[in-house]
Every structure is written in structure tokens, then in C-alpha cells.
Amino acid sequence: MPDSLSPDLSQATSLLHSVFGFGAFRPGQEEIVGAILRGENVLAVMPTGSGKSLCYQLPALVRGGVTLVVSPLIALMRDQVRALTAAGVAAGSLNSSNDPAETARVLGLLRRGDLRLLYVAPERLARPDTIEMLAESNVSMMAIDEAHCVSQWGHDFRKEYLELGSVARQIGGRLQTIAFTATADAPTRTDIVDKLFAQPPRVFVRSFDRPNLRLAFKPKERSSKQVLAFVRAHEGESGIVYCASRRKVEELAETLKEAGVRALPYHAGLDKAVRDRNQDTFQQEDGVVMTATVAFGMGIDKPDVRFVCHADLPANVEAYYQEIGRAGRDGLPADTLTLYGMGDMQLRRLQIEQGDLSDERKRIERQRLGALLSLAEAPRCRRQTLLAYFGESSEPCGNCDLCQEGVERFDGTIDAQKAMSAIVRTGERFGMEHLVSLLRGDRTENILKYEHERLPTFGVGADRKASEWRSIFRQLSALGLIAQDLMEHGRWWVTDEGWQVLKGKQRIELRKDLAPAAGARGERRGRPAASAVVDDGDLVLFDALKALRTRLAQQQGVPAYVVFSDRTLAELASHRPTSPRAFREIHGIGDAKLERYGAAFLEVVQKHAT
């Protein structure tokens, strides 16, 4: 029977509407739900924000019995349970942070056979008493979230995940298993299949395109100024600023605070209580900027993060994609900016080379870093370059800095020759800062020590700023004309291709964005993105609805989006429903929310009737 006619799938579709308040499936969801309902084991690879949770939540409701959801992230479990409960679904979690009353409630529901979704941390699940209890309950399937945690290739390996296959067998013989991950690369995917499934599952891979995310990179200059300009352009919106070190997290949080931004720090060195408090504030309130190391984010399920800024270069393309993916999960426009500098690149290379990794692993890491650098220096649409890395081909997106602002090019042959002759004349023994001083004719201590002020190259590049020369070095490196030896203090040398240019046998073009344009974008933006979806005439009502949402959320001690998403408020402000029936038609409003919030929100809409 085709999917469209299966009674289970049509029941799932009506639950999509009545419980979650969504008008339609997102791309990919329907096929996955269909396969799960037919009893297949499934691995779904989907980008963050594409709506994985619904893929197991709907079958769980259609099926009956209890669906186990394995997740390593306690904060995320808590949020999902809250959101499901608010939608009228019997859900609960078992984890170390529950109070006894909550655990009793969950076990009571389970015993009576009323529980539909049980979220459980892997270490809790592996306990013999948990397994015994679940073996006696009516468990219908096991959904494994963040399935890449089973792979040693990934950045989030957790050894408890290795037990999940055997746990599933102990609970239910051939318990149906469905696994989800947002990690796309091939070695990780193969590992997941090997370690979680006895037989190869049905694999779904969703497009990694997230068209609502604007992509942009800029060479790093004064990074705190650049970050501040970017954050200011997003006043009043929730966002994340990622930094490479704890110290920088603290410094940037201070800088932003001094500028009047509501910024909070987050890193592993902070007291756990402080960390948790900052995370809660970020989750629950509007317009907080989290300045964080990458320790922050994996458990963040906040749909209305409007921007992500990397103050330092991310670790690799995978990490970059995961981190920017935390913005715009609600599908509304979100903005990203990544700052990259030569120092960052050197540091990353060193971390790989000197790290305690196998040769095979180092090779993979080098590739991943190389892909990120190509993305930073991309000559064409960034999204095309990014998607190409994930094996997808696409058209220019029109929503990245390169599509919108273009890259101007110029004949860079002479500059390249100057830079390379500086390398050659100093015996291919020096790093970039020294070479830049030489080109610019700066009499630094080292220049004088080596008597480099006597070289013919001394000062030939005085017409360019140091930052411009750094960009030229970076581009020559991306073009493969020069290379760096990291084991020897990052000394540069000229490759065979480079010699072709140096000898004048070949000309080259360089990108013109040599001078950084901090904040250039910010000034052009009028309104913050959250209200980009709200017409001017609806803004007053939108703000009033937001105020009501904040009040209700505070009363109930839940994050604002658990009440309603930004998109729901935006639709309310523009459609202005006057009856419960019309209210129910709005995105994100199901039966439970109609009953709970209908009257209060309708009253606000009524007051603004024109």
C-alpha cells in the first residue's frame, strides 16, 4: 500500500495537526515516519533544526506502548518533556537531575501503561534495574538521539552508547531501533550502522541545506570590535558568540556588557551553578547573548537563536556546521559570521599535528580543516562550497556574503611576487609576522638582528597595510603557491606552482577584500531579524503578544518558546484571529495549547483590533 493511503500515516498526519499544530510535514519527515510505522529500523541523518524529534514523537503516539528516547543531554530531555507535556502528551524522563516526585510520576505513568515517551540517559538505561523494569513494560521502540556519540571518529564519543545494541536486545528481543544524527560524514555514518544495528537499517540522508541561515566569513582584525558590531546589528535578539578559549569568553562577555549588551559567559571553567544559571537565562529569556566555548550548545534546543558568531575559527567544517546550525531552528532568517585569522589556522594545524591521534585520524582531521579554510577563502557562493563538502550540488544561494556582496578580484601577480621573494630572500626560514615586517619596512628587533633591512625586499610592500599582507599570504596558501612548515615554527616556503608565478610564467588573481570591513553589514540592516517577518503595522501587537508570552512563561517556569514560538506570534499578529477556531489554525497551535492559552491571547488580539 502506498504511504499516502496507509491508515497509520494518515493518523500521524492528523496528530501533526491536532497535537503539534503544524500544517504539514517538513521535507523528509513523512518518509521517515512512514518507514518507522512500517516497523523498519532506521538511521536518519538530518541537519540540526530540520525536525528530527517529530520523526519519533509521531510514531510513538500512533503506536501506543512506550517509546524510549536515548539522549546524552539532560537539559535537552527536560525541554522536550516540557514541550510535549505542554502539547498534552504523556512524556517523562529518567535522569540524575530528577527530583523524587518527578521520578514517581513517571514510573506511575509507566506502570499504568499511560506513558508514551520516556527519555532516558544512556548510563541510566544500562543499569540492570532499569533494563529489568523496561523488559516488563510495553516498550515498542528505542529512538537513539545524537547517534554519532557511538562513534570514536566523532567529537562526542560516549562509551555508554556502545552498550545500546545489547540493551535493546535485553529489553525487547528484536526491539525496533531508530537512530538520528546531524553528523554527516561518511566514516561516522558507517560506524553508527556497525555499532547500533545488528542488520543494516534503512538510511535516510536529508539535504544539509539550511537556506534560512545567512553565511558570512571575514578575516579577523580587531575581533572584539568586529563581534561587537555584529551583535549590535542584532539588538534584542538571542545569539551565541563562540570563542576558542575561556579567557576570550570572559573578555568578550565583558566587552559586550560594557557596550550595554546582555551578555553572559559560558565555559567549562565556571562554577557549575553559574553555568547552569547562565544557560537557563539564555534559554528562558529573549535577547540574551551567550559568549561561550564550544562546550556550550550541544544540548541547546532553543528554536529562536537569531545569530551565531565565531570570534575564532571553528575546529573544522563539521564543527562549523553544527555550531551555526544552532541558529534559526524555527526556520526564520538567522545570521552567522565567522572570523578567521592566520593565527587560528596555525593553532589548529598544530593541534592536529601534535595531538595524540592515529595517522588515519590525523589525515581526516587535516582534510576537515582544509575544507574549512577553503570555505573561508571561497571564490564562489559559500553555501555551494559548504554543500559540496557534504556531497550535494546546488545553485548560488543569494543569501551569503559572496552572493550578496560578491568578491572583487584584482591582478595579484606583483603582490604575490613580492611576498614570495620575501620568503625566498630570507632563506625560507621565517614565519608570517616577520615577513610582513620585512615587506612593510618595519625596523623590528628581529629585522635588525638578522640585518634584513639590507635586503632588496625590505619595504617593497610599504603601500599595503599589515592586514592586507596577511590576507595575501592566506590566499597564496589557499591557492597552493606557498606552504608552511608547522614543525619548524611555521616557516613559509615556496611550492613548485609558486615558482611559476615568481618567475613570471603565470599570472594570478587575488580577492580584493584585503581590508576588513568590521560592522559594514550591521549599518545596512534596519530591523532585527526576529521582526523581519512582522510587518511594521503588526509590530505593536507582536510586542504585546510577546509580553504576554513572557508573563505566562515566567508563571510556569518554562522557556518562552515552550508557550509559543516566534513564528506563532508573528502569525497571530498578522492573521489576528477572532475566534478559537481561527486561533487553532495558526502555526504551532494544537488542541492543548488552544485550551490553555486561547482565551488570553485572543483577548490581546481583540484589544488591538483596528
Q: Can you tell me the distance from the alpha carbon of 437 to that of 451, in angstroms, rounded to the nearest whole number?
A: 13
- The residue range among 6-14, 284-292, 376-384, 445-453 that interacts with Zn ion, by the rule CB under 5 A, is 376-384
Q: Does 46 bind ligand ADP (CB under 6 A)?
A: yes
Q: Does 573 bind Zn ion (CB under 5 A)?
A: no
CB nearer to Zn ion: give 15 or 334: 334
Burial class (CB in 10 A: 0-12, 13-18, 19+), 88: middle
Instruction: State in angstroms the smallest separation of the CB of 370 from Zn ion.
Output: 21
Q: Does 381 bind Zn ion (CB under 5 A)?
A: yes
**Residue whose C-alpha cell is 563538502:** 389
Q: Does 559 bind ligand ADP (CB under 6 A)?
A: no
Query: Which one of residues 383, 470, 584, 587 is an interface residue with Zn ion (CB under 5 A)?
Result: 383
Q: Can you tell me the distance from the alpha carbon of 414 to that of 464, in angstroms, rounded to the nearest whole number?
A: 12
Query: Which one of residues 25, 230, 282, 458 is an interface residue with ligand ADP (CB under 6 A)?
Result: 25
Size of the site for Zn ion (CB under 5 A): 5
For the chain, how many residues are written? 610
* Pairing, β 66-70 against β 117-120: parallel
Angle between helices 74-86 and 591-607 (to 10 degrees): 70
Contact 335, 306 (CB under 8 A): yes
Q: Does 51 bind ligand ADP (CB under 6 A)?
A: yes
Cell of 498: 609558486
The candidate with the shortest Cα–Cα distance to 68, out of 178, 148, 161, is: 178
Using CB under 6 A as the binding rule, the residues of this chain from 312 to 371 that contact ligand ADP are 329-330
Burial class (CB in 10 A: 0-12, 13-18, 19+), 205: middle
Query: Which one of residues 72, 303, 498, 590 is an interface residue with ligand ADP (CB under 6 A)?
Result: 303
Instruction: State in angstroms the smallest separation of the CB of 439 from Zn ion.
Output: 33
Residue 468: name its binding partner from ligand ADP, Zn ion, none (Cβ under 5 to 8 Å by kind).
Answer: none
Cα 585 from chain centroid?
Answer: 31
CB nearer to Zn ion: give 66 or 400: 400
**Residue whose C-alpha cell is 517556569:** 557
CB nearer to ligand ADP: give 46 or 249: 46
Q: Does 397 bind Zn ion (CB under 5 A)?
A: yes
CB nearer to ligand ADP: give 18 or 413: 18
Residue 52: name its binding partner from Zn ion, ligand ADP, none (Cβ under 5 to 8 Å by kind).
Answer: ligand ADP
Angle between helices 359-376 and 342-354 (to 10 degrees): 170
* Pairing, β 334-340 against β 217-219: parallel
Binding mask 244-283 for ligand ADP (x = CB under 6 A): ----------------------------------------
Instruction: State in angstroms the smallest separation of the CB of 18 from Zn ion.
Output: 39
**Phi-psi region for residue 413, left (φ > 0), alpha (ψ -120 to 50) or beta?**
alpha
Contact 249, 291 (CB under 8 A): yes
Outline where DSSP puts E strands in 170-233: 176-181, 202-205, 213-214, 217-219
- The residue range among 24-32, 173-181, 383-391, 593-601 that interacts with Zn ion, by the rule CB under 5 A, is 383-391
- The residue range among 49-57, 237-245, 342-350, 388-396 that interacts with ligand ADP, by the rule CB under 6 A, is 49-57
Q: Does 71 bind ligand ADP (CB under 6 A)?
A: no
Q: Name beta bridge partners: 118.
A: 68, 92
CB nearer to ligand ADP: give 45 or 501: 45
Residue 247: half-sphere exposure toward Cβ, Cα within 13 Å: 0
- The residue range among 24-32, 58-66, 236-244, 393-401 that interacts with ligand ADP, by the rule CB under 6 A, is 24-32
Q: Does 89 bind ligand ADP (CB under 6 A)?
A: no
CB nearer to ligand ADP: give 122 or 303: 303
CB nearer to ligand ADP: give 213 or 227: 213
Q: Can you tell me the distance from the alpha carbon of 297 to that of 279, in angstroms, rounded to the nearest whole number?
A: 9
Query: Which one of residues 41, 50, 471, 568 is an interface residue with ligand ADP (CB under 6 A)?
Result: 50
Query: Which one of residues 9, 15, 54, 402 is an interface residue with ligand ADP (CB under 6 A)?
Result: 54
Contact 435, 426 (CB under 8 A): yes
Instruction: State in angstroms the smallest separation of the CB of 23 from ligand ADP.
Output: 7
Using CB under 5 A as the binding rule, the residues of this chain from 399 to 418 that contact Zn ion are 400, 403
The sign of the dihedral angle between the CA atoms of 259, 261, 267, 271 is: positive
User: Distances from the Cα of 491 to the Cαs of 212, 342, 362, 460, 485, in angstroms?
Assistant: 41, 13, 21, 20, 5
- The residue range among 32-40, 258-266, 295-303, 395-403 that interacts with Zn ion, by the rule CB under 5 A, is 395-403
Query: Which one of residues 9, 22, 119, 293 is an interface residue with ligand ADP (CB under 6 A)?
Result: 22
Q: Does 148 bind ligand ADP (CB under 6 A)?
A: no
The candidate with the shortest Cα–Cα distance to 453, out of 465, 443, 466, 463, is: 443
Interacting residues of 309 by C-beta distance below 8 A, sequence separation 6+ = 227, 230, 231, 239, 240, 241, 242, 336, 337, 338, 339
Instruction: State in angstroms the smallest separation of the CB of 377 from Zn ion.
Output: 15
CB nearer to Zn ion: give 319 or 381: 381
Q: Does 17 bind ligand ADP (CB under 6 A)?
A: no
- The residue range among 20-28, 357-365, 449-457, 529-537 that interacts with ligand ADP, by the rule CB under 6 A, is 20-28
Which amino acid does the sequence have at 571? E
Size of the site for ligand ADP (CB under 6 A): 16
Q: Does 26 bind ligand ADP (CB under 6 A)?
A: yes
CB nearer to ligand ADP: give 15 or 352: 15
H-helix or E-strand spanning residue 239: strand 239-242
Q: Can you tell me the distance from the alpha carbon of 20 to that of 12, in angstroms, rounded to the nearest whole number?
A: 11
CB nearer to ligand ADP: give 192 or 510: 192
Q: Does 216 bind Zn ion (CB under 5 A)?
A: no
Query: Which one of residues 41, 48, 531, 568 is an interface residue with ligand ADP (CB under 6 A)?
Result: 48
Query: Which one of residues 28, 35, 52, 549 is an interface residue with ligand ADP (CB under 6 A)?
Result: 52
User: Distances from the Cα of 523 to the Cαs of 528, 529, 539, in angstroms?
Assistant: 11, 14, 21
Cell of 455: 635586503
Binding site for ligand ADP (CB under 6 A): 22, 25-26, 29, 46, 48-54, 301, 303, 329-330
